[in-house]
Amino acid sequence: MATIAKHTDQQDNARPTFKTRRASSRDWQTAWLWAGPAVVFVAVFLVYPVFNTIWLSLLDSTSTTFVGLKNYQIIFTNPSLLEVLRNNLLWLVLGTVVTVFLGLVIAVLVDRVRIESLAKATIFIPMAISFVGAGVIWSLVYQYAPVGQPQIGLLDAILTRFGLPPQAWLVNASVDNFALIIVYVWIWTGFCMVIISAALKSIPSEIIEAARIDGASEISIFFRITIPMINSTLVVVATTMVINLLKIFDIIYVMTGGNYHTNVIAVAYYQQLFSFNNFGVASALAVVLLLAIIPIMYFNIRRFRAEARQ
């Protein structure tokens, strides 16, 4: 009997009391009081627009008739829209590789000069300029005038000074995409440099000195010590560039308007929605862009969780 009574007492003690349940309920109410507005905001301005856009991408241009995957078929079969996808891929590869590479090289070089702060500030200045402002500035740099007329564009003025013919940089389909990518590189290289430079300074100097004492060359130190130790930072910077480049819009819209074979997904979306009033294709382009970004975000989240567990 004593054993049964003792067991009953333990069960009674294990059961939550009225006060405990009341305190727990109060904690939940407090939590939802603070988190509720954020959840509602995300649901209204993020979750709902995503699902609504997916639904609109399955309708016709007037959003009145269900057409299934026809809009996606148009995107992946229409020559002009296929060119849009190719241009975005070109931006993605060149823009990411060049900005991260230049950011890394400059970060390593300025780390060894006395005017490090001044050099970094000078290279970082373009980040203070909006994409629209940068587009206007570089439109003047690429400004073209026919042969025999005064060249007000900086680049063509330099060419003609050396006896070379001026070039229509933003009209010539063989070079205009590269000319636009240069503008992006000019803006974002400073950002990459600053982030990578901070990572370089976190490398213990004792490791570098030990490698030099062992006879390692500077190139060997760079590839076998520096790069592996800042690898996570390089991945973060590269991922940031990829996300930026997937939704690049301002530079193309300001400098060429997507003409002369320079169109990209974001500009094509704008044109389909506001110029052609084709809500179906515009929504499908937005969904394609979303699907392209999701794997990158998933990769980032997994990597952050793996680093947190270490």
Domain harbouring 109, CATH code: 1.10.3720.10
- Whether residues 199 and 248 fall in one domain: yes
- Whether residues 31 and 119 fall in one domain: no
pLDDT of res. 24: 67
From CA 271, how far away is CA 290, in angstroms rounded? 18
Note whether residue 133 is domain-resident: no
pLDDT of res. 19: 57
- Whether residues 83 and 40 fall in one domain: no
- Whether residues 232 and 300 fall in one domain: yes
Return the closest-CA partner of residue 104 out of 259, 272, 236, 291. 236
Note whether residue 147 is domain-resident: no
Note whether residue 158 is domain-resident: no
**What total of structural domains would you count in the chain?**
2
Note whether residue 166 is domain-resident: no
Ramachandran angles phi, psi of 40, nearest 5°: -65, -45
- Whether residues 195 and 293 fall in one domain: yes
Helices and strands (H and E) in the chain: how many: 17, 0
Note whether residue 121 is domain-resident: yes
pLDDT of res. 163: 87
Note whether residue 26 is domain-resident: yes
From CA 68, how far away is CA 66, in angstroms rounded? 6
Query: Are the beta carbons of 135 and 127 closer than 8 angstroms?
Result: no
Residue type, 76: F
- Whether residues 119 and 20 fall in one domain: no
- Whether residues 110 and 220 fall in one domain: yes
Note whether residue 140 is domain-resident: no
Q: Please, which residues have CB within 8 angstroms of residue 184's CB and are 6 or more apart in sequence?
A: 91, 95, 99, 245, 248, 251
- Whether residues 42 and 191 fall in one domain: no
Q: Give the range of the structural domain holding residue 89, as residue numbers without chain letter.
A: 70-126+182-309
Collapsing DSSP to helix, strand or coil, 17 comes out as: coil
Return the closest-CA partner of residue 225 out of 209, 245, 236. 209
pLDDT of res. 31: 76
Ramachandran angles phi, psi of 142, nearest 5°: -90, 5
From CA 49, how far away is CA 155, in angstroms rounded? 44
User: Which residue numbers in the chain have pLDDT < 50?
Assistant: 1-2, 4-7, 14
Note whether residue 163 is domain-resident: no
The one-character DSSP state at 63 is: S
- Whether residues 108 and 7 fall in one domain: no
- Whether residues 229 and 304 fall in one domain: yes
pLDDT of res. 13: 54
pLDDT of res. 232: 87
Q: What is the pTM of this model?
A: 0.85
- Whether residues 255 and 109 fall in one domain: yes
pLDDT of res. 5: 46
- Whether residues 193 and 90 fall in one domain: yes
